[in-house]
Amino acid sequence: MPLRTAAGPVSLSLCHITPSHDSIALLHTRNSGEPMYRYVPTFMIAILLGAAPLRAATPPLTDAALSDAADKLRLKNYSAASRTAADAREGGKRDLLRGVAELKRGNASAAAPLLAAAAKGYPLLADYALAYQIDALTKLEKTAEALAVNTLLVRDYPESTLARSARLRQGDLLFAAGDFGGAEAAYQKFVETYASGSDAIQASYRTALCREKRGDLTGAAAILRTLWLASPASHQAARAEEDLARLAAAGVPLPPYTPKELLKRGSSLYDQNRYEAALKTFRAIDAGKEPEEFRERLSLKIGQSLLKTRKYADARAILDDLASRTKKKELAAEAAHLAARCLEKGGKDDEAFDAYRQVAARYPDSSEAESALLNAAFVRKFQRRPADAATVLTGMLETYPRTRLKQRTSWELGWSSYLAGDLAVAEERFAALAGEDGYRERALYWLGRTRMAAKKPDGAAEAFTTLAREFPFGFYTLQYLGTGVDERKPVLPKLGGDPRETLPMPEGFERVKALTSLGLIEDAGREIAAAKKKNGRGKNEAGMARLYLEMGDYFGALALYQGAAAKNGGPDNPTVWGILYPRAYPEQVSRAVAENRLSTGLAYGIMKSESSFKPGATSPVGARGLMQLMPDTAASMLKVKSVSGEKLYDPELNIRLGIRHLRDLLDQYQGNQVAVIASYNAGGGNVNRWLKTYAGLREDEFIESIPFGETRDYVKKVLATAVLYRQLYGMD
């Protein structure tokens, strides 16, 4: 849907803005609060007069040179893109592409006039031309001109997807121009308009800087203090802390933080997995004059933070002390349970087993008792003592027959009984769990396995047949096919063509199409994301998937269809399969697997499971890109001191290093794919320990025994995905 200007539809005349005091004067506020007008010189406005609002449609690129230049821009070959575009026909499209290419390669002086011309000559994307022009002028330190262009962008394109960032930049440009009153007003208006988001936090922080520049140090300190408390995990909070220290050194009076304020801040950091910062905040609290309830709550928070930061001995000391002195039984039970967890994490398994059972014995009516018994069973499970684990679990179900953990406990009892050879109990538990939605798939598989072990082939076949019918493309069905019980394989389409050929090109979305055709993929992604948010899910998904694939955005297309596919069997729709299991980045993958003698299916299984084909994916621990590589791992492979995390977002580099890393792991584990996949997720140290503990188990039994739930599910997902890729594409 085309945008409208604030004044409504307008003519497509190239000179639709009439210079006047209203159009070229910027309203500012002096420190005293009195209004003043600053006029941008007329020669600066001259370059802006042709920036018409967006029109409804654009013809596709027909200029071969421009298309070639767009391909080079997409590949970030900016110099070549600009040179190639210079041979294209004159016009706004060429100017926009060349302007962006010159800007990206660092030639802002060449970019600025090209982008100004593009704003005149290409109304459909005039707002993008203006935004890039502002970037160029800013790099050239032409603040007044950049401010004039940005004011035009904010005023004439209020519905643009760039409007929000332009409004924030208005404050930044006013600040850079030295108009701190005007900047503060712009930032405050931004926060009023957009109350949440990281940019709102940035606007608040910049408001404080404006107040400091205007001499209102107390007002600046008040904003910084609020930001430090309310947004503790933001990078602005760290800067606010430094600024507050500087202001305090300059003699600005700062009210001390109250214990309650600090406890709230620390709890927020803890909830956002910022455990070291949370611990630092909790330890800064002087709780000597606080009520006992507050002191106990603080002790619990410190103990939890120490546990999360792997300071197990310190955590246990605080938690044991809390459990012994509090008069609240529920709190004592929680502290004792966490203290037992510290023992287990510290490698003292037998002591942890006793401590878990003592929690249930001392506090049988607490909400912690059932979880503590389950954790005691896990200790024995991970020691490969399934009979002992089954004894604990049986006792738990007898003591707490209505436990909220009944399904989980029943599953663990069935699994421990299976490993211990008590097939009757295992069959009973798996049969019952096959009726529960959350457990049905794996319960059917292990029910079949249990019946096979008990020499009940008919019962096993019944379980496997049900599994194959209801979950034809799940891990367990694919795993059981090699058992010889039933070799009937689910029928999958054979893929080979481009799924774009079977998807309709949607009407409308002209800005998305135009940006894509020019190689401005990130900008096209911004536009389609805004359209998706506006239209809601379920509307024209096929057409939007086509647009995503035209952009080379496999993740965007996949996300539209996630959950709509294969679990229900649908092999009759090859297009959906092609979207959900795309042959993404085929040239890069083919080259890397050939160089490293790796299974293509395994490579795609890892990539899909790690990032869902999102090149910019970043994990909480810092893994980057399609195959989620850590910068340290990449640096080691490249034999360099360090690798910028940003470089790992490049698909070619990420795929090349990720597949090479898989090859190294395959060599290390002598071709054991399960160990390789588990190591890719959980690290070699954990996998080596599991291989030793569970030596002798059959492969599927080993997978089911992996202690980390995330890793266990990850291995299943990768293996199943690899099989599906092999069957869909006939790859190795």
Which tens digits make up the pLDDT trace of 612-650? 999 999 998 899 999 999 999 999 999 999 988 889 999
Please give the class, per CATH, of domain 586-729. mainly alpha
Mean predicted confidence (pLDDT) in 410-426: 98
Q: Quick count: other Cβ atoms within 10 Å of Cβ 283?
A: 13
pLDDT in tens, 216-227: 999 999 999 999
Question: Dmax over Cα atoms in the chain, in whole Å?
Answer: 92
pLDDT in tens, 670-698: 999 999 999 999 999 999 999 999 999 99
Q: Residue 28: what pLDDT?
A: 35
CA-to-CA distance for 76 and 143, rounded, in angstroms? 27
Query: Which structure tokens are listed for 75?
Result: 């590949």
Predicted structure pTM score: 0.85
Question: Could you tell me where the DSSP H helices lie in 363-491?
Answer: 369-382, 386-399, 406-420, 423-433, 440-453, 457-470, 475-480
Return the SS3 of 291: coil
Query: Which structure tokens are listed for 353?
Result: 């087993």
Q: 36-43 contacts: CB < 8 A, separation 24 or more?
A: 38/179, 40/144, 40/145, 40/147, 40/148, 41/144
Q: Is the dihedral of CA 391, 393, 395, 398 positive or negative?
A: negative
Q: Residue 27: what pLDDT?
A: 32
* pLDDT class of 488 with cuts at 50, 70, 90: low
pLDDT(93) > 50: yes
* In contact, 252 and 260? CB cutoff 8 Å: no
pLDDT in tens, 185-199: 999 999 999 999 999
Q: Residue 159: what pLDDT?
A: 95
* pLDDT class of 499 with cuts at 50, 70, 90: confident
Q: Residue 563: what pLDDT?
A: 62
CA-to-CA distance for 671 and 228, rounded, in angstroms? 51
Mean pLDDT of the chain: 90
Q: Residue 52: what pLDDT?
A: 38
Active-site annotation holds for 610: yes
Query: Which structure tokens are listed for 468?
Result: 């194959």
pLDDT(167) > 80: yes
* pLDDT class of 253 with cuts at 50, 70, 90: very high
Q: CA angle 141-143-147, nearest 5°?
A: 145
pLDDT in tens, 133-152: 999 999 999 999 999 999 99
Q: Residue 660: what pLDDT?
A: 97
Residues 6+ apart with CB under 8 A from 334: 300, 366, 368
Q: Residue 61: what pLDDT?
A: 53
* In contact, 300 and 335? CB cutoff 8 Å: yes
Domain ranges of the chain: 12-160, 174-251, 502-574, 586-729
* pLDDT class of 43 with cuts at 50, 70, 90: very low
Burial class (CB in 10 A: 0-12, 13-18, 19+), 557: buried
Mean predicted confidence (pLDDT) in 299-308: 99
Q: Residue 564: what pLDDT?
A: 56
* In contact, 495 and 578? CB cutoff 8 Å: yes
Q: Residue 562: what pLDDT?
A: 80
Q: Residue 23: what pLDDT?
A: 36
Q: Residue 496: what pLDDT?
A: 85
Mean predicted confidence (pLDDT) in 162-167: 98
Output 362 or 54, whichever has higher pLDDT: 362
Q: Residue 338: what pLDDT?
A: 99
Q: Residue 535: what pLDDT?
A: 78
Q: Assess whether the region 12-160 and the region 586-729 belong to the same CATH fold.
A: no
Q: Residue 687: what pLDDT?
A: 98
pLDDT(267) > 50: yes
Mean predicted confidence (pLDDT) in 654-662: 97
pLDDT(4) > 80: no
CA-to-CA distance for 50 and 31, rounded, in angstroms? 35
CA-to-CA distance for 33 and 36, rounded, in angstroms? 9
The continuous run of DSSP H or E covering 322 comes out as helix 312-325
* pLDDT class of 481 with cuts at 50, 70, 90: low
> Of 102, 296, 610, 704, which one is the catalytic site residue?
610
The length of the chain in residues reads 732
CA-to-CA distance for 670 and 173, rounded, in angstroms? 59
DSSP state of 645: G
- Supply the CATH classification number for the domain 174-251: 1.25.40.10
* In contact, 207 and 191? CB cutoff 8 Å: yes
* In contact, 254 and 244? CB cutoff 8 Å: yes
pLDDT in tens, 530-580: 988 887 766 788 899 999 999 999 999 999 888 655 444 455 688 899 999
Burial class (CB in 10 A: 0-12, 13-18, 19+), 732: exposed
* In contact, 337 and 359? CB cutoff 8 Å: yes
Please give the class, per CATH, of domain 12-160. mainly alpha
Query: Which structure tokens are listed for 662?
Result: 């898989």
